[in-house]
Structure 1
């Protein structure tokens, strides 16, 4: 997968600017790549409020308010944690929209229930949170690139509704 997100980011920028909305990202397995893709576009300060890189479980709790008991019960790579991350990104920022990702990029760290390439997404738009689980093939770079693309594409799709 080519990790050229320029068109997606431009669409996202137009949608957010037209609605006077700000975006916050909450990233684990992508380590800030979604925010990085957004800031590749000049003028992104007009619609990107902040990005949280919450790679550790402690960071998810401290920066986004994800309950440690939730992580303990479901694991960091779970629907519950992706939802809490998306909600926390809005609650701990001045943004009205968020995207959150938590997954297993590999090449290690997978399990039978959560194989390498498993990613949970959370999107908060207009106070409504949507979640989705995907599994991407490829090496670490491919999984992370596919995650960024999917996160941005679905955010555009949700904002176009």
Structure 2
């Protein structure tokens, strides 16, 4: 598992976009899925804007509530009670759970605080993105700036970039 400090502000460009992710995943014959909290399905939505997304995207789980995180994704209830949903271990459990629930090779998850108010002691812009796949797992802690829309937009972009990057690392290993 790897971790990174902070991420760029929403206005700074990311690496891979949804088109590159779809091309990479379909070329490699791998399937992908999402588990989304603060992004509310926006990662999956961004992927399906790309023609040919059905060649790799199996589905997504919008797990906005703790109940869905536990019931559908298998995130341990004691973990959620102890640390809240805004936590790297929760993000990783969500990604692992999406792999199982959706039967995909790779899954990406998002959890955090989009605002407008802090949540469970975490400031607006605190986001965790995790990827789980056969080639490994990674979690990033993002510290984003901007309003709710900007935080969500940057989270979506980073999730897609991170998923494609992990798939690419595995393909080139």
With normalisation by structure 1, the TM-score equals 0.92
1:131 and 2:139 are equivalent in the alignment: yes
Give, in whole Å, the separation in 2 of the partners of 1:76 and 1:127: 25
Residue in 1 that maps onto 2:55 = 46
1:24 and 2:33 are equivalent in the alignment: yes
- Cα deviations across residues 50-105 of structure 1 (Å, max 9, x unaligned)? 10000000010111011111111111010110010010000111211000010000
Residue in 2 that maps onto 1:101 = 110
Give the ranges of 4+ consecutive aligned residues of structure 1 lying more than 4 Å apart after TM superposition: none
- Tell me by how many angstroms 1:127 deviates: 5.0
User: Relative contact order, CA 8 A, sep 6+: which one is greater?
Assistant: 2
Count residues in correspondence: 159
Contact between 2:135 and 2:167, CA under 8 Å: does it hold in 1? no
Residue in 2 that maps onto 1:82 = 91
1:92 and 2:139 are equivalent in the alignment: no
Residue in 2 that maps onto 1:9 = 18
Q: SS at 1:107's partner residue?
A: coil
1:142 and 2:135 are equivalent in the alignment: no
With normalisation by structure 2, the TM-score equals 0.86
Residue in 2 that maps onto 1:119 = 127
Give, in whole Å, the separation in 2 of the partners of 1:134 and 1:98: 18
Give, in whole Å, the separation in 1 of the partners of 2:102 and 2:144: 30
Give, in whole Å, the separation in 1 of the partners of 2:110 and 2:78: 19
Which stretches in structure 1 are left out of the alignment for 5+ residues? none
RMSD: 1.9
1:33 and 2:66 are equivalent in the alignment: no
Contact between 2:58 and 2:104, CA under 8 Å: does it hold in 1? yes
